[in-house]
Amino acid sequence: QVQLVESGGGLVQAGGSLRLSCAASGRTFSRYRMGWFRQAPGNERAFVAAISSSGGSTYYATSVKGRFSISRDDAKNAVYLQMNSLKPEDTAVYYCAAGSRGSPYSQVVYDYWGQGTQLTVSS
C-alpha cells in the first residue's frame, strides 16, 4: 500500500516556474514507477510525465517536453515535477500516481493516486 500526498501548487504568472512535490508513504516506494497527471476544468485527466522505478527512464507529454522535468529521491520517498516556462494552459489539478506495470502513459495502470494539488497560471 502506498499513500501519496502532493504539494507545491499555487498561483504563478505565465513564464514562471514552480516545483510540485509528491511524498509517498510505504517501504516499497522504490519499486514503483511514478507519474504525474493533470486535469483541467471540463477536461479528462491527462498524462504529464513519468519516471521509471530506477529513475533511469523518463517520459513526457508532448505539450510539456522541454519545459517540465520529473525526478525522484528514493531516500526521501518523493517525486518532483519541476515546471518552467509555465503557460495558462498548464492550469489544472496535478495528481501524483504510483504504478508497477504497463505503459507509463496510461492512467489505468497506476494503482495509487494522491488527492491532487491545484496549479493556476495567470496570463
pLDDT for the residue numbered 27: 75
Nearest to residue 6, comparing CAs of 19, 26, 68? Answer: 19
Residues in the chain: 123
Residues whose CB falls within 8 Å of the CB of residue 47, separated by 6 or more in sequence, listed in order:
35, 37, 61, 104, 105, 106, 107
Average confidence (pLDDT) over 19-35: 93
* Residue type present at position 97: A
**4-7 sheet: strands from edge to edge:** 4-7, 18-24, 78-83, 68-73
Mean pLDDT of the chain: 96
Question: pLDDT by residue (tens digit) across 46-71?
Answer: 999 999 999 999 999 999 999 999 99
pLDDT for the residue numbered 7: 98
Alpha carbon separation from 62 to 4, 12, 46, 68, 91 (Å, rounded): 25, 22, 12, 10, 16
